[in-house]
Amino acid sequence: MLIFKLAFRNILRQRRRSLLTALSMAGGYMLFVFSMSLLEGSWTNVVDIFTLDHTGHVQIHKDDYAKRPKIYKTITDRDSVESVLTGNEGVKGWAPRVYSTALAYGGDKTSIAQIFGIDVTLEPSVTRIKQKVTEGIYFDNQPDADGYAKAMIGRGLANILKLNIGDEIVLISSGADGSIANDVFVISAIVGNTTSFDRLGVFLPITVAQRFLSIDADVHEYALLARDKHANERLARSLQLALPQLKVSPWQEIEATFYRTMQSDKQSNYFTMGLIVFIVFVGVLNTVLMSVLERTKEFGVLRSIGCRPSELVKLIFIETVMLAFASILAGLVLILPVIMWFTNVGLKLDIAFDMGGVVFDTMKGDFSAYVIFMPMGFMLLTAALISLPPGLRAARILPREAMGSH
């Protein structure tokens, strides 16, 4: 307790130097937290764009369908799967899907197309499919007045085939039973833009797609939205135990390349921020060293009355960490309102940008325990480390030389 009192007294005695050091550390902490908040918020936004565009947080397939899709690799026991999903509190929403490739005809033009059979009611609870409708209206299960089933097509396919709302599109594909699948559909909406993943897509009501592909009531995939998007991997593990006959994968596994790229970019940003904070603490190290040099006689007196070298190291260590902790608390009080505003309101961008057919015009931050405490722990650890060289310098002071230094 005595050494804490002595450290506190020394901080107060050197008010001017302590204040400058505290301001430097508080500014470094505020910069670190603000940068972390924007970085995490930006990546959260990117992940939301990515997962809510199509993948969802978790996907369920038969065997290795995700890596090697085949039309016959279907989930047949839908009742048991949907019972598990409905009863799991971690699942916010889920939707079944059917996939296939097809040859699309429109007028006198043809193009390759990707069929997406979706549940018109459940799909909007998992993805932003409704928000991606740029022309026309989101479809339903009911055929039009002429008996044709409705379809929504990607912007790229619409441009290639020169189709508009109300036009007909012909699809030719292979059925699961080996038959030739072909039918005519009427376009009710155009989805996304020419850079969307579904730019060559044709969205059909899932029952229409199942009948078209001759797969009965089977599906190729279930896409899930987790209540806690940060816990989607844990949710995938729990669902895998409940559905051992199927393959349950988090989006990090489904889109492994994107995830690795994201993690690599985040690590490089963390390194940059850590380097900036370290540069701040180099200045702090210089200040602490100067303080030790100015107090050489004081340390000599302490050594002469029996203070051990380790006690001097401990004294410098406690002084530096106490000052760092007080600076961090002051910086936290000042930065909290800023990151809360960025998280809840955000900064309006002068120019909105389009990602996959969804428009984003606000830059937001992230407010979480990680954003607050990771920089705090890093700075306290750095403060502890930079206190060691001055502490060892003080510990090597000889009483006789120190007493004669002034």
Percent of the chain with pLDDT over 90: 39
For residues 194 and 246, which has the higher predicted lDDT (pLDDT)?
246
Residue 218 maps to a domain: yes
The pLDDT value given to residue 300: 65
Reported confidence tier of residue 56, pLDDT bands at 50, 70, 90: very high
- Looking at residue 3, what is its pLDDT? 55
**Composition of the chain by helix, strand, coil, percent to 5:** 55, 20, 25
Question: pLDDT per residue over 321-373, tens digit each?
Answer: 888 888 888 889 999 998 888 888 777 766 655 555 555 667 778 888 888 88
Residues 6 or more apart in contact with residue 327 via CB below 8 angstroms: 21, 22, 23, 24, 25, 26, 29
> pLDDT value at position 82?
93
Q: Which contiguous run of DSSP H or E holds residue 35? A: helix 15-50
Mark whether 123 and 232 lie in a shared domain.
yes
Q: Tens digits of per-residue pLDDT, 169-194?
A: 999 999 888 889 999 999 999 998 88
State the pLDDT confidence band at 52, using cuts at 50, 70 and 90. confident
E strand or H helix that includes residue 241:
helix 232-242
- Taking a C-beta distance cutoff of 8 angstroms, is the pair 33, 375 a contact? yes
**What is the average per-residue pLDDT within 388-405?**
65
Question: Looking at residue 318, what is its pLDDT?
Answer: 81
Residue 348 and residue 314 share a domain = yes
Where does the pLDDT of residue 378 fall: very low under 50, low under 70, confident under 90, or very high at 90 and above? confident
- 171 and 265 share a domain? no
The model's confidence at residue 243, banded by pLDDT at 50, 70 and 90, is very high
The confidence score (pLDDT) of residue 388 equals 77
Residue type, 56: G
Mean pLDDT of 56-69: 92
Together in a domain, 220 and 368: no
Q: What confidence score (pLDDT) does residue 139 get?
A: 92
Residue 251 falls within a domain, yes or no? no
Confidence of residue 398 (pLDDT cuts 50, 70, 90): low
- 93 and 166 inside one domain: yes
Residue 56 lies in a domain: no
SS (H, E, C) 159-227: HHHCCCCCCEEEEEEECCCCCEEEEEEEEEEEECCCCCCCCCEEEEEHHHHHHHHCCCCCECEEEEEEC
* Overall average pLDDT of the 156-179 stretch: 92
What pLDDT does residue 352 have?
Answer: 57
Say yes or no: 295 and 397 in one domain: yes
pLDDT mean over 97-107: 93
Q: Lowest mean pLDDT of 49-53, 227-231, 234-238, 388-392, name the range.
A: 388-392
State the CB neighbour count (10 A cutoff) for residue 19. Answer: 13
pLDDT at 9 over 80: no
**Do 145 and 201 form a contact (C-beta atoms < 8 A)?**
no
Query: Number of folded domains in the chain?
Result: 2
The reply to whether 354 and 240 lie within a common domain is: no
Residues pairing with 358 in the sheet: 355
Higher pLDDT, 226 or 356: 226
| Mean pLDDT taken over the chain | 83
Model confidence at 27, pLDDT cuts 50, 70, 90, reads confident
280 lies in the same domain as 328: yes
Separation CA 367–CA 171 (nearest Å): 48
Residue 231 lies inside a defined structural domain of this protein: yes
Q: What's the Cα-to-Cα distance from 368 to each of 34, 227, 271, 360, 373, rounded to whole Å?
A: 12, 16, 20, 22, 9
Cα–Cα distance between 208 and 149 in angstroms, integer?
A: 7
Is there a domain that residue 250 lies in?
Answer: no
Tens digit of each residue's pLDDT (9 = 90 or more) over 269-301: 777 777 777 776 676 666 666 666 666 666 666
- Residue after which a domain boundary falls, among 194, 218, 245: 245
Are residues 286 and 201 part of one domain? no
* Predicted pLDDT of residue 370: 84
pLDDT at 147 over 60: yes
Residue-range definition of the domain harbouring residue 176: 63-245
Burial class (CB in 10 A: 0-12, 13-18, 19+), 287: buried
Q: State the Cα–Cα distance between residues 167 and 201, nearest whole angstrom.
A: 16
pLDDT at 168: 93
Q: Does a structural domain hold residue 91?
A: yes
Using CA atoms, how far residue 171 sits from 11, 72, 143, 248, 297, in Å, is 78, 19, 16, 31, 91
Q: Answer whether residue 163 is part of any domain.
A: yes
Q: Are residues 219 and 266 located together in one domain of the fold?
A: no
pLDDT at 94 (0 to 100): 95
